[in-house]
Structure 1
């Protein structure tokens, strides 16, 4: 089930994105992309939304905390591995990486706040109490950042669910 596609046998509407990802990955086609290519809408939608998330006003480390929080919560092992690598490239503290992978709050209070906020948004389907938003804002984040967390949750919930379904490795 959910065969890995090559650029040549993928649906036409997935091919451009697959070529771009392979080029950005040094010629390697990630298994997740090869499998998600069965749905051009999902593949292109995820890539577009994740690119928007990368351009948001959250700093790169905060974005990765959001992503890792979702990946660990949703038990997407490929996502955890990939985003562990991204955190290392950002020179993240190894203890931060360990905490996120072990579902613990990071020692850094600002990063712990965005992790907590992400988990609250997930557990309440967005119906967070005002105090939860105020706690995020108290750590230097903005209302815009709070909404950007929702965008990250959307993108990476889609990705983690799809990657698990297709058994991407």
Structure 2
């Protein structure tokens, strides 16, 4: 059960309305995560600022962004984000089986995505610490130092949303992500 009410654009605090409307337009509807964040204008504005910076300045394609989001969402056991990013990853061209493999940490279909997902997973699980082996493997897979630094920003916005969903008890309003399995 949600701890924080999910607002509509009309019921959100005045300071949240324009931001919520813009996010809702971009997403095609108002998602419960954003509707909950709108309860506090600073929470929604922080999310919008972080994700806006990634959209404006980021270099990753949609498959890479969604791979990072799925890896981090799984690492943090965020049911909502795994479901949301499964939908987005499929729209970006990944199959459902590939989204499951990414979440499970068994990416055998793309070595370059596997390397960046491992860096993201380590950032999320080790308070930002990444092993030299993972860093070197990502460089060898073709990621630049700039892209590895950018990965940190992607992980940060995903940690923000994962933790918000845990904190707020965001109710799922998207198709549920399939189970990872054994």
Task: Tell me what 1:8 maps to.
Answer: 10
Task: Tell me what 1:135 maps to.
Answer: 137
Q: 1:123 to 1:163 in 2, by over 3 A?
A: closer
Q: Name whichever of 103-112 and 51-60 sits farther off.
A: 51-60
Structure 1 segments of 4+ aligned residues over 4 angstroms from their partners: none
CA deviation profile, 1:139-160 (whole Å, cap 9, x unmatched) = 1001111111110111110111
Task: Tell me what 2:124 maps to.
Answer: 122
CA deviation profile, 1:50-103 (whole Å, cap 9, x unmatched) = 2322341122211111111111111222211111111111121333212123x1
The answer to whether residue 23 in structure 2 is matched with residue 21 in structure 1 is: yes
SS of 1:122's partner is helix
The answer to whether residue 34 in structure 2 is matched with residue 30 in structure 1 is: no
| Distance of 2:126 and 2:26 partners within structure 1 | 36
CA deviation profile, 1:75-132 (whole Å, cap 9, x unmatched) = 222211111111111121333212123x132111111111111122223322334333
| Distance of 2:144 and 2:76 partners within structure 1 | 26
Q: Contact conserved, 2:105 with 2:118, CA < 8 A, in 1?
A: no
Q: Name whichever of 37-46 and 3-12 sits farther off.
A: 3-12
- Describe how 1:52-63 pairs up with structure 2 within 5 A: 52-55=53-56, 56-63=58-65
Task: Tell me what 2:42 maps to.
Answer: 41
Residue 87 (structure 1) aligned to one of 89, 97, 105: 89
Runs of 5+ consecutive residues of structure 1 not aligned to the other structure? none
| Distance of 2:129 and 2:169 partners within structure 1 | 31
Q: Contact conserved, 2:120 with 2:151, CA < 8 A, in 1?
A: yes
Please give the root-mean-square deviation of Cα atoms over the aligned residues, in Å. Answer: 1.7
SS of 2:12's partner is coil
Aligned residues: 167
SS of 1:138's partner is helix
| Distance of 1:160 and 1:128 partners within structure 2 | 20
